[in-house]
Amino acid sequence: MKISVYYTPESTPDHVIPECAVVIDVLRATTTITTALNNGAKSVKAFSDIDLLLAESNQLPVESRLRLGERGGKKVDSCDLGNSPLDCSREVVTGKQLFISTTNGTRALQRVESAQTVIAGAIINYGAVVKYLKEYKPTTVWLLGSGWEGGYSLEDTVCAGAIASELVDFSNINDISNDEVVSAIALYCQWEDNLFDLFRLSSHGQRLLKLNLEEDLKYCSQKNLISTLPIQTDKGIFKINNK
Ligand code: MLT
């Protein structure tokens, strides 16, 4: 298994796609997608464009859909919910088809949507990601952070490091496809017991704290809270992996 870490969708190489892409947006899109599916949502469809989301979701009856929209950490007015995983309780999402658009996470999902396998990873479910990768052993794996508007993010990189640390054997350099892999593992080794503190330091963590979303940060920093693995079943559409 050849593993690469990319900090942002913009930093991935052109015209190349891995066999398996793990998209990571810890704060908060992939945490929210994982939580919603764990709590009984039928599916989650990701859109980078909010108008496309509104147009497609309009084709469903209001009672069977939920629209989640976020820009700059805040809820988009035309949507039912923002991007807080804490809003995706069983009572709210069970049996619903969700449609989501966020500032960075859904763009990262779109970048790799043509890969054979696309999964959504976060701190709350990284153990399920590792289990899947160990079982299916794809030949090429990208751990793709969403970052913030083209820039690096601590929270996505530390999650990539958590996953890579369980897959990479430093005595087998063939596993490691770029320097970012070793760097992400080093970040994880330094912060693995203090992820909430790391998220408080991160620029997007600070943005969310200013919006009074400290509880979101706490929730997103809990390691392996659930074992649900969202997997792409059709372009942009995620369901629970049943394989
Ligand atoms: C994003 O896509 O950048 C995020 O998920 C932002 C957020 O809602 O915290």
- Asked if the structure places residue 39 within a domain, the reply is yes
- Asked if the structure places residue 78 within a domain, the reply is yes
Q: 74 CA distance to ligand 1 centroid (A)? A: 9
Give which of 211, 7, 214, 238 is closest to 113, Cα–Cα: 238
**CA distance linking residue 91 with residue 36, whole number of Å:** 11
Give which of 69, 33, 65 is closest to 50, Cα–Cα: 69
Write out residues in the chain with pLDDT < 50, as ranges: none
Cβ proximity of 180 and 197 under 8 Å: no
Q: 46 CA distance to ligand 1 centroid (A)? A: 12
**Ligand 1 nearest-atom number relative to CA 105:** 2
Q: 173 CA distance to ligand 1 centroid (A)? A: 34
Instruction: Report pLDDT for 242.
Output: 76
Question: Quick one: which H or E segment has residue 231?
Answer: strand 230-234
Instruction: Report pLDDT for 172.
Output: 82
Q: 151 CA distance to ligand 1 centroid (A)? A: 13
Best of 32, 102, 109, 217 for a ligand 1 pocket test (most atoms within 8 Å of beta carbon): 102
Give which of 122, 95, 110 is closest to 216, Cα–Cα: 122
Instruction: Report pLDDT for 52.
Output: 97
**CA distance linking residue 204 with residue 153, whole number of Å:** 8
- Asked if the structure places residue 25 within a domain, the reply is yes
Residues with CB under 6 A from ligand 1: 25, 27-29, 70, 73, 83, 102-105, 146, 208
Total domains, the chain? 1
Cβ proximity of 160 and 119 under 8 Å: no
Contacts of 33 (CB under 8 A, 6+ apart): 44, 46, 100, 120, 230, 238
Rg (CA), the chain: 17
- Asked if the structure places residue 208 within a domain, the reply is yes
Q: 136 CA distance to ligand 1 centroid (A)? A: 29
- Asked if the structure places residue 57 within a domain, the reply is yes
Instruction: Report pLDDT for 44.
Output: 98
**Ligand 1 nearest-atom number relative to CA 213:** 9
Indicate which CATH number applies to the domain containing 100: 3.90.1560.10
Contacts of 132 (CB under 8 A, 6+ apart): 119, 229, 241
Instruction: Report pLDDT for 170.
Output: 85
- Asked if the structure places residue 63 within a domain, the reply is yes
Instruction: Report pLDDT for 174.
Output: 87
What does the block give as tokens for 173?
């350099």
- Asked if the structure places residue 179 within a domain, the reply is yes
Instruction: Report pLDDT for 125.
Output: 98
Q: Measured at the alpha carbon of residue 110, what is the angle toward residues 104 and 111, in degrees to the nearest 5?
A: 90
- Asked if the structure places residue 243 within a domain, the reply is no
